[in-house]
A and B are shown apart, each in its own frame.
Chain A
């Protein structure tokens, strides 16, 4: 196409239309490649015995059943695993919102010596690779503190994240100084200003930070995998991964139960994203470009 477009005899208008058609075709092809695995995940989960043939990708309604969900539930109790994921994720969100809001407020609206230094340290933590921290963190949390197989051990290293601190800092910076000063003149303390003036204005930022924080621990595998050995405490991602790695070798066609577990794991994050996508998009782009 590149060569064609440069040849004389093609009007600029034609080239533009051609470009748009090509762009649209690329987007459609992309959307197919991105959505098909999700469709295939659901189809495989709903087939009693997943059929990997081409025709098997398009089963009739009478070929569908929920038996795989029952099967995975026998090996990985789904309600317990979902509850573990929820406690883990909830703990992280709670910590991130409290610590992150306090830090974001201190870094944006309070004046204190060392603020710039601390802000630069926060920036610096973004480039510390997690692989460097993995082994010492494991020694500290699991071996020294004895927090293996506890929710606290899973939550602590994720208790707050720098991205959330950024989101709060950027949002709080937009609140007019006069509003805060007026409250200060009335004798309100900073905690009171934060909870009664700043936070009610900051619902979008809280929602954004909560959502981006949700997908972290909900999808996280490595750390909770290191911390939990008992299945009763494992979040769904870990329990399902353990099922995959033990069953893959021993069963001929283990995919039905695996895909059913994958669907259950994927649905909450995907649903939250589709419902609140405008909040995700804002945060990711602004946080990313500010690094």
Chain B
């Protein structure tokens, strides 16, 4: 064996993966940006169509004139405003509770993680049954049930969608926090106890700061996942209803790019959205990491 053969093997072994990355990540990425500068329409196979270069026209129309796109941004802002803080707080509370020596820890951990491994379509089926106008939630609430009912209510529909996604993914974040809790040194708590700190003081001054790196990750991941929202408004609220109040940017991109075959415009939505999400993630990281 010589060093030469090992080096050669390295390239050979990484080649299939690199080919995949090139073909299914790098190329579509470039294609998306390219397409967004063209009036790129689908056509029947064999038909020759003009796909003229339009410069920034797709972006201009999208950002300045497209009221529906603006609605989707407002919707996703509502979604994130409900989903991200709720996810973070509940995940910290449940992870801290799970970290104590209590009976049935495996059972609890399993139940919280169950929705995360279950298909969205199956979960939407049962949430639709729970929240439809004559469903169990309204039967329990009686006169307190909102009118019109949850999924057809302009205010509540997006909040229910946000609660569903919080519920579905929470177990994953609980596990992230649980792992992060193991990294906080025991001695910090012991020293605080010597100084007479109570349970809440320790939680505030040791646990919360110790979990900060995990919190950065949880906030960024849940924001990115939220911005990708598609299946829930497509299925649970019947294609983004009521009156587009749960229409998400990705669902709108699907309507434009695939239902209406305007791929160039849809690509511009994708590029704008991605730049927005990555910017927000960078801001979140900056804000959470400094004191």
Q: How many residues in B have their beta carbons less than 8 Å from beta carbons of A?
A: 102
The answer on a CB contact under 8 Å between B11 and A112 is yes
Our count of residue pairs bridging A and B at CB distance below 8 angstroms stands at: 313
Most buried by B among A30, A135, A237: A135
The answer on a CB contact under 8 Å between A289 and B217 is yes
Chain B residues near A152: list those with CB within 8 A: none
The answer on a CB contact under 8 Å between A24 and B18 is no
- Please, what's the 1-or-0 string for B224-252, where 1 marks a CB less than 8 Å from any CB in chain A? 10011011001100110000000001100
Roughly how many angstroms separate A189 CA and B200 CA in the complex, as a whole number?
59
The answer on a CB contact under 8 Å between B126 and A40 is yes
The answer on a CB contact under 8 Å between B126 and A135 is no
The answer on a CB contact under 8 Å between B235 and A121 is no
* 7 residue pairs A–B, Cβ–Cβ below 8 Å: A16-B199, A106-B14, A136-B267, A157-B24, A189-B5, A237-B119, A262-B126
Complex: chain A residue closest to B213, CB-CB: A289
Roughly how many angstroms separate A274 CA and B118 CA in the complex, as a whole number?
12
Complex: chain B residue closest to A24, CB-CB: B102
B271 within 8 A of A: yes
Roughly how many angstroms separate A67 CA and B277 CA in the complex, as a whole number?
46
B92 to A: closest C-beta gap in Å: 12
The answer on a CB contact under 8 Å between B42 and A143 is yes
**Contact residues of A between 137 and 177, Cβ < 8 Å to B:** 137-140, 143, 146, 156-157, 159-160, 165
Task: From B21, B110, B266, give the contact of A121 (CB < 8 A).
Answer: B21
A154 to B: closest C-beta gap in Å: 13
Chain B residues near A274: list those with CB within 8 A: 110
The answer on a CB contact under 8 Å between A30 and B94 is yes
B114 within 8 A of A: yes
B176 within 8 A of A: yes
A128 within 8 A of B: yes
Segment at the A interface, from B60-68, B129-137, B154-162: B129-137
Beyond A110-B6, A131-B270, 15 additional contacts (C-beta under 8 Å) are A31-B107, A102-B14, A106-B17, A131-B273, A135-B253, A136-B31, A137-B28, A139-B35, A189-B5, A190-B6, A244-B124, A244-B235, A262-B121, A269-B119, A277-B110
